[in-house]
Structure 1
Amino acid sequence: MKKLDDLEEISDPGLESSSMSSMDQSPTVNSTPSGNSFTYCRTNSETSAFSEQLTDDFTSSSSDRNSPVCWPATGRSPYRPTLSRFGGIRHNHKLDQTPTDLELEMMKERFSKLLLGEDMSGSGKGVSTAVTISNAITNLYVSMFGQHQRLEPLYHDKKMMWKREMTCLLSVCDYIMEFVPPMKTLENGASMEKMNIRLRSDIDINLPALIKLDALLLEILESFQETEFWYDEHGSMSGKSLSGSFRKVPQPQRKEEKWWLPVPCVASGGLSETARKHLRQKRDSANQIHKAAMAINSNVLSDMEIPRTYTASLPKSGRASVGDTIYRYMTSTTKFYPNHLLDSLNITSEHEALELADRVEAAMFIWRQKASLNYPKLSWDKIKEHVEGDKNVILAEKASVLLFSLKQRFPELAQTTLDTSKIQYNKDVGQAILESYSRVLEGLAFNIVGWIEDVLFVDKSMRNQEEEC
């Protein structure tokens, strides 16, 4: 898995490798019963909370200093790691105060749900630990941010709950290790292999990056403590206009299913240039964070094992999956233009886009399977080199480009059937944490960009009204 160039690892050189952080209480993992439903569209949640209190290591620096446009090489993370005896990251689990009886009961409840795999009958028919932790992170995100629909700081209690519970959930990664055989040169000049243990490479690369993205998103929300705009729940008139006159609030260009979101309002003269510049800066920062989280999520999903239940449900041919129209276009031209093909399909809703994404992804997998029949143990990149020019390889690559263009055109597209199947049947705890953490951060960053766009749209509309008058 490639490390993102624009993301720098979080380090704390002031800590010694021999230091060990002790815990006053056993870490617990939140999980809420989810039955057999596996909907990963940043929805469905139930309130969850850990009781452990953390130190002030969560104090973050200013948002301007930690802008993703120019991230510092070192800095204090909200979940500042320490070094363990294994050479990996360890999180600070010190408690500010002794937990109360109520908090201890909450910790016991969540730890029990983790061990039971969300199966309260105790019969061992629950989901795997990986799915349980993935559900816990998803539910925690919706509990903390599900009702947060404005450009304003997160409530202090919710922010602290988010930080301490995520610290507990991420602490599982401290013990996911791998063996490496580095070469060691002896005094007599001979070389030998010595097995060392270290944090697994995908976690070591992606987890510090996600933690940094998390801190930056919270800092963006914190930067909107004092604003020149406000929100009207009904959006009918700006009763707080500085001029005192009633005006119809310009409605942002939203889709009909977003009717419940509050409408931003600005004064009759619009925002000041300073406020407008601040909004644009934070929009660009959130947009970069969204792209980074999406890239990590895509990489983690691509590394997950494809479940047999998915392969068993596939049609016999890629043509049957994508349909005759798309298949003829993909085979009739040597130069493939995915955007031209999408324009000709006239997709009118995200439901149609998701259905097309499922069919294209299934066809891509079928063509890859056929191309790799003689090379079952090689990666796809190696297979393309061995059978370059093969019809199945060409069609699979065109399907991959088409799927990428479709997701770019519909950035809010829910996860495909293949992705949800991978998450549902995934057994790797480390991949489950990275996938769910990157997914919720991707959703939060996307929402922040949308909220800022709404304010900028209303500001532009109000200024246009003033010019017309």
Structure 2
Amino acid sequence: MESSSSVSVSDESSEANGGGCCSSSTTPSMDAVNLSRTFSDVSSFSEEHGGSGSSVDHSGPFEPPMKPRADVLDRRSTDDELELVKERFSKLLLGEDMSGGGKGVCTAVAISNAITNLYATVFGSCHKLEPLPAGKKTMWRREMDCLLSVCDYIVEFYPSSQTLPDGTKVEVMATRPRSDIYINLPALEKLDAMLIEILESFQKAEFWYADAGTRSFGSATSSSTMSSSSFRRSTHRNEDRWWLPVPCVPDGGISGKARKELQQKRDCATQIHKAAVAINTGVLGDMEVPDSFMAILPKSGKASVGDGVYRAMLGAEKFSPEYLLDCLDMSSEHEALAMADRVEAAMYVWRRKAGASHGRSRWGAVKELVADDEEQDKNVMLAGRAESLLLCLKHRFPGLSQTTLDTSKIQFNKDIGQAILESYSRVLESLAFNIVSWIDDVLFADKTVRKQ
């Protein structure tokens, strides 16, 4: 399983503080975190200098900070810093239209693409459980720090009071970080650090990798401790992905301690994946539905999901999305994605009809109006059941690609804060999903060898 998880609502995320989660001898912990695909071959902002981020003090009236993440650049010469700022500023202003003709994308889409492209550059060629090369790790931290610094200037106003020198108190409008960024961004930065640390913990491992289709004799990293003449087996649980490196383990498998640590790291990466999915889905849920998506919706939800699914959703007194999915028997993610698109389209058809019948344009207002007895409104009931079916579908297929609506929201979104949170959580979701998959490959190889 090598394919990246793509986005798929929102649980609340709390600000996460603190350090890393694991080392080569310890396993990661999620205790410190409260949870609440444009790719290119090169990064838009690629250089070879390092740095780290720092936090911003958001207390009191907002003042434009002196580059709160500028410590990344403190160790650089003035000329280098100036050139880096020029490059970033120019590419974002041009909106990826290097001709300068004004046909570029909006700033939100440009930043979203920049984060996605940076992830592809740094992690696109990673297929093993091993530390990230120093140059790529430096590039990731430095350039992400630059892109995330935009959030330091996204604020919201709130009423406050100010005392003048003569003791008079006056009411003023002060500023503070926007709530969605203040809650989600620190949590995402924590998840990012935890994933990098999981990879760093594989500095020394009892397994190694061989090119696909080969058999490995002896460990590439520990030939002094293992007999080079003893036969080592290499196994692969995804035969259809023959080009990927194959994990190899000793004849007797890895030790019990190493197996336990692998499982614990897998559990940690799984929790990180769930947290990233929750943040990503929440941000996508807050984005406006583009008019272009609403314009192509079918006239009826029944036509979208089909007669069989429609009857199952309408006829059952107690609707079970799990049972319905079992009856559909979808064997591939392609079929699951097609079903997700149809269910999501039907959900918005029924929401629109419910809003029209109750004189409300906002779905939340419609739900509040009929909260006491949703069964009396068929469209409200069907929309709710379609939503539960869609969530169940995404949980059953965690690697599901973006739906048509998700892609449309990202493409037409103009909110820069939402664009940063969505793209950052999406790439972290993908990385966590891949780490879980790589660990599963090693555990599968170990299990296969121990059975023989």
| TM-score normalised according to structure 2 size | 0.83
Q: How does 1:60-459 map to 2 (within 5 A)?
A: 79-83=53-57, 86=62, 91-94=68-71, 95-99=73-77, 107-181=85-159, 194-240=172-218, 242-243=226-227, 244-246=229-231, 248-252=233-237, 254=238, 256=240, 258-373=241-356, 374-377=359-362, 379=364, 381-385=367-371, 388-389=374-375, 390-459=377-446
Q: Equivalents in 1 of 2:171, 2:80: separation in Å?
A: 52
SS at match of 2:248: strand
Report sequence identity in percent. Answer: 58
Give yes or no for contact 2:10–2:278 (8 Å, CA) kept in 1.
Answer: no
Answer with 315-324 or 117-126: which moved more.
Answer: 117-126
Tell me how far apart the structure 2 counterparts of residues 441 and 268 of structure 1 sit (CA, whole Å).
Answer: 35
SS state at 1:196 partner: strand
Distance in 2 (CA, whole Å) between partners of 1:125 and 1:410 is 37
Please, which moves more after superposition, 86-95 or 106-115? 86-95
**Deviations for 1:179-208, whole angstroms, at most 9, x for unmatched residues?**
11258999xxx9986422100000000000
Provide closer, same or farther for how the CA distance between residues 44 and 356 of structure 1 changes in structure 2, counting only shifts above 3 A.
Answer: farther
Amino acid at match of 2:420: I
Deviation at 1:376, TM superposition (A): 1.9
CA RMSD of aligned residues (A): 2.8
How far residue 276 of structure 1 moved from its aligned partner, in angstroms, is 1.1
Residue 277 of structure 1: how far off its partner (Å): 1.6
Code of the aligned partner of 1:286:
A
Distance 2:239 2:380 in 1: 38
Check 1:221–1:11 CA distance in 2 against 1; reply closer, same or farther (3 A cut).
Answer: closer
In 1, distance between residues paired with 2:18 and 2:162?
A: 26
CA distance in 2, matches of 1:88, 1:348: 53
User: Alpha-carbon deviation of 1:235?
Assistant: 4.1
Amino acid at match of 2:384: E
Q: 2: CA distance between counterparts of 1:296 and 1:308?
A: 24
SS at match of 1:225: coil
2-side partners of 1:386 and 1:193: how far apart? 42
How far did 1:354 drift? 0.8
Please state whether the residue corresponding to 1:181 is helix, strand or coil.
Answer: strand
* Residue ranges of structure 1 left out of the alignment (5+ in a row): 13-38, 59-78
Call closer, same or farther: CA 1:387–1:429 in 2, change over 3 Å.
farther
Change (3 A) 1:247 1:396: same
Taking the aligned partners of 1:87 and 1:288, their CA distance within structure 2 comes to 36
- Judged with a 3 Å threshold, the aligned counterparts in structure 2 of structure 1 residues 11 and 185 are, in CA distance, closer, same or farther, namely farther
1:87/1:251 CA distance change after superposition, 3 Å: same
Q: Give secondary structure in 2 for the equivalent of 1:122.
A: coil
Change (3 A) 1:106 1:199: closer
User: For the residues of structure 2 that align with 1:54 and 1:262, how far apart are their CA atoms?
Assistant: 29
Are 2:10 and 2:280, in contact at CA under 8 Å, matched by a contact in 1? no
**Kindly tell me: are residues 329 and 166 of structure 1, through their superposed partners in 2, closer, same or farther at Cα, counting changes over 3 Å?**
same
Mark the CA change 1:154 to 1:96 in structure 2 (over 3 Å): closer, same or farther.
Answer: same
Q: Which moved more, 1:453-462 or 1:355-364?
A: 453-462
Rate the CA distance shift 1:225–1:204 in 2: closer, same or farther, 3 A: same
Q: Does 2:55 correspond to 1:48?
A: no
SS at match of 2:381: helix
Contact residue 50 and residue 103 of structure 1 kept, 8 A: no
How far residue 50 of structure 1 moved from its aligned partner, in angstroms, is 4.5
Q: Which moved more, 1:351-360 or 1:85-94?
A: 85-94
User: Partners in 1 of 2:79 and 2:62 — Cα distance?
Assistant: 34
Q: Which residue of 1 aligns with 2:24?
A: none
Letter in 2 for 1:179: F
Unpaired runs of at least 5, structure 2: 1-8, 20-36, 220-225
Distance (Å, rounded) in 2 between the aligned partners of 1:347 and 1:255: 21
Deviation at 1:100, TM superposition (A): 8.3
Q: In the alignment, is the contact (CA less than 8 A) between 2:231 and 2:251 conserved in 1?
A: no
Is the deviation greater in 379-388 or in 311-320? 379-388
Q: Distance in 2 between matches of 1:2 and 1:324?
A: 31
**Larger relative contact order, structure 1 or 2 (CA cutoff 8 Å, min sep 6):** 2
Is residue 354–residue 414 contact of structure 1 (8 Å, CA) maintained in 2?
yes
C-alpha spacing 1:156/1:108, structure 2 compared with 1 (3 Å)? same
In structure 2, give the amino acid aligned to 1:233. Answer: D
CA-to-aligned-CA distance 1:303-328 (integer Å, 9 cap, x gap): 00010000001100100111111101
Partner secondary structure for residue 180 of structure 1: strand
Q: Give the match's secondary structure for 1:385.
A: coil
In 1: Cα distance, 2:432 partner to 2:90 partner: 32
Q: Hey, what's the Cα distance between the residues in 2 that align with 1:259 and 1:343?
A: 31
User: 2:43 is paired with a residue of what secondary structure?
Assistant: coil
Q: In 2, Cα distance between the equivalents of 1:461 and 1:107?
A: 52
Q: 1:264-299: per-residue Cα shift (whole Å, max 9, x none)?
A: 101111111221121111111111000000000000
Cα contact 1:183–1:191 (8 A) shared by 2: yes
8 Å CA contact 2:280, 2:421 repeated in 1: yes
1:63 corresponds to: none
TM-score of the superposed pair, with normalisation by structure 1: 0.80
- How far apart, in 2, do the equivalents of 1:458 and 1:406 lie? 29
Alignment length (residue pairs): 409
Give the distance between the partners of 2:69 and 2:111, measured in 1 at CA.
20
8 Å contact from structure 1 (residues 296, 438) kept in 2 = yes
